[in-house]
Amino acid sequence: MIPVTCFKGKKVALFGLGGSGLSSALALKEGGAHVIVWDDAPARNDLARSKGLEARDLAELDWKGLSALVLSPGVPLTHPEPHWTVELAREAGVEVIGDIELFSRERALVCPDAPVICITGTNGKSTTTALTTHLLKSLGRDVQMGGNIGTPVFDLAPLAPHRHYVIECSSYQIDLAPGLAPTAGIHMNLSPDHLDRHGTMENYAGIKERLVAAARTAIVGVDDEMSAAIADRLEAAGHDVRRISGHQTQTHGVFARDGLLICADKGVETVIADLSRAPSLRGQHNAQNAAAACAALLALGVAPQELAAGLESFPGLKHRMQIIARHEGTLFINDSKATNADATAWALASYPRLYWIAGGKPKSGGIEPLGEFFPRIVRAYLIGEAAEEFARTLDGKVPYEISGTLDVAVQRAAADAALDPQAEKVIMLSPACASFDQYPNFEVRGDAFAESVRALLAVPEKTEDA
């Protein structure tokens, strides 16, 4: 645990006792704060009490005696309307902050030299966070990974000057972290998301921009117009900006070209790695992820030639273009995290010959936006509620069958692929749908796919790490 000592002897309110909220409350208590917590769920309040925390209704507090309100990232700060605790805090002149702000203040107080890399963006931030961590570990560095990727930041090892912290930050967390100041800040990309919580695309983009604007080195993806504009603004304001791209040549930053990952320093190019040797980083989107992670390590002083081995050994994230097995020229890939057409587009663009398993609980727009990738699909195997709708879209364009369930789809796809004489073919679960018709979440769906593949091939549970 990282204790929060910056509020020692002060009274702090905390609302929201999910994973990060409970972790923050315990860290504040460990650091000497008088923390009072509350949640709408009685079971969470009971859990907090069992851990020695004071849980009572914040509506009954004297707010003028508080030093801060710590708000869980899932609780609305501004839209669709401020949470009632936010209104009470503002009326009393109490600042409203979140877990990443607490971490930033504690680092500034007790260990300002600890390297911190923060990653945000609409897509790719989890893969980039995991890849950055993997690269640091491959170089023998002491590294901790947490934040929005799953491990609450205060559950990481205590702050130390030699210890690197790689933190994934959601827009919700950034909005509650005015003092965020990472060593390297990464912004990946922008597309419409979470507008119910931020009101407009401009507000959403502005929150993302804060992370890189506050960083010692700003690493900015430039493969979409709004993010490229962020890079331009920061550079014009005198920031140290490194541009990253999955396909566009840059003069100062890291980019991919002709399958090579290249570092550019004021126009001088150095090849970092051949991405064809990194099977878990296939596709233009993963090239941008690799560029971001490498740019962060370069900003910390790592030499370009030190990065290739780590890129090649990266196993990927579970459920995100995850290689489950390779059998007689066929790759089995779990991309269960692709719950909409935009996410599936990246997957379909990454391989030339696909046996595609798709379907589930449909989302608006269906798979019609994926038409440009249909020529890559040898056959589609449709499952779940969306099967009939997807069949109508594919009719006359892509051979398909309605398999109904995932295990049947895996068996049928494997049988067809076994008859395909082509050297490389891919059986891919990339559903373009939510999972809730047949599975509680995409993780369970992805695990079911992996189990079906392993049962079919009679292989032990082991993800290929290439």
Mean pLDDT of 29-51: 97
Q: Which domains does the chain have, with CATH numbers?
A: 11-97 (3.40.50.720), 101-313 (3.40.1190.10), 322-457 (3.90.190.20)
Provide the annotated binding site.
121-127
**Residue-level pLDDT at 418:** 95
**Residue-level pLDDT at 279:** 84
Q: pLDDT digit string (tens) for 141-190?
A: 999 999 988 899 999 999 999 999 999 999 899 999 999 999 999 999 98
Model confidence at 85: pLDDT above 80: yes
**Residue-level pLDDT at 252:** 96
pLDDT over 70 percentage in the chain: 97
**Residue-level pLDDT at 465:** 33
Provide the annotated binding site for ATP.
121-127
**Residue-level pLDDT at 283:** 85
Q: pLDDT digit string (tens) for 328-347?
A: 999 999 999 988 888 899 89
pTM (2 d.p.): 0.83
pLDDT-derived band at 460, boundaries 50, 70, 90: low
C-beta of residue 342 within 8 angstroms of C-beta of residue 369: yes
User: How much is the mean pLDDT over the chain?
Assistant: 94
